A and B are shown apart, each in its own frame.
Chain A
Amino acid sequence: GQSLEQPSEVTAVEGAIVQINCTYQTSGFYGLSWYQQHDGGAPTFLSYNALDGLEETGRFSSFLSRSDSYGYLLLQELQMKDSASYFCAVPDNYGQNFVFGPGTRLSVLP
């Protein structure tokens, strides 16, 4: 079986830094992905970590620790447009199907 845990909500102000955590339990491990979804929209891919460490893409960074079954998404210099839901996701069933976490709703305040 598999399970992923994320905080349900996070609130921060413009210009701040926020970290969204994700812990997972899967049958085998093939990488951790992050997706963003604005209200009424489709999920869009943000990042993918297959190895331990930090991956940086502009204002967004993603971190993975395979030994701790843990990862996080770091958003810097927050902007109002970053208000959205963020999902971590992993392949499971020995790499066959795909499982998403319950999502974290980020609210960015002025």
Chain B
Amino acid sequence: EAQVTQNPRYLITVTGKKLTVTCSQNMNHEYMSWYRQDPGLGLRQIYYSMNVEVTDKGDVPEGYKVSRKEKRNFPLILESPSPNQTSLYFCASSPDRDYEQYFGPGTRLTVT
């Protein structure tokens, strides 16, 4: 089954404790993205990757890191999480930027 998976689905952590949210797709897509979704603000892109070893900032990259060492994986790293990073996070992939994006199920992160 073609899908995007994210782990964990839910995470409660404390300020400053490094965490990684994994994202994996099995569709051989080149384009992958991370978004955060907050009430009233829609989906905002954090980082995107056009291909392996090619990543760039989206609209809200501060406090986040990503890597793309393999085509299928695109982890999101919060090295020192803060309460303002409490949000719902989605990973997405697509064959190309212009094509439909397939979203993972989401990760609800709470930073206390």
Contact = CB atoms under 8 A, between A and B. Distances in A.
Contacts, number: 58
A100 B56 contact: no
Q: How would you classify the secondary structure of chain A's contact residues: helix, strand, loop or mixed?
A: strand
A99 interface: yes
B56 A97 contact: yes
Contact of B44 (A44, A45, A96, A100): A100
A91 B102 CA distance: 15
Contact of B98 (A30, A35, A99): A30
B100 A33 contact: yes
Counting contact residues on chain B (CB < 8 A from A), the size range is 20 to 34
A43 B106 CA distance: 10
Given A48-B100, A96-B56, A100-B44, 18 more contacts: A33-B100, A42-B103, A42-B105, A43-B43, A43-B92, A48-B98, A50-B98, A87-B43, A89-B43, A91-B97, A95-B98, A97-B58, A98-B33, A98-B101, A100-B35, A100-B45, A102-B40, A103-B42
11 contacts: A43-B43, A43-B103, A45-B102, A48-B100, A95-B98, A97-B45, A97-B56, A99-B59, A100-B35, A100-B44, A102-B41
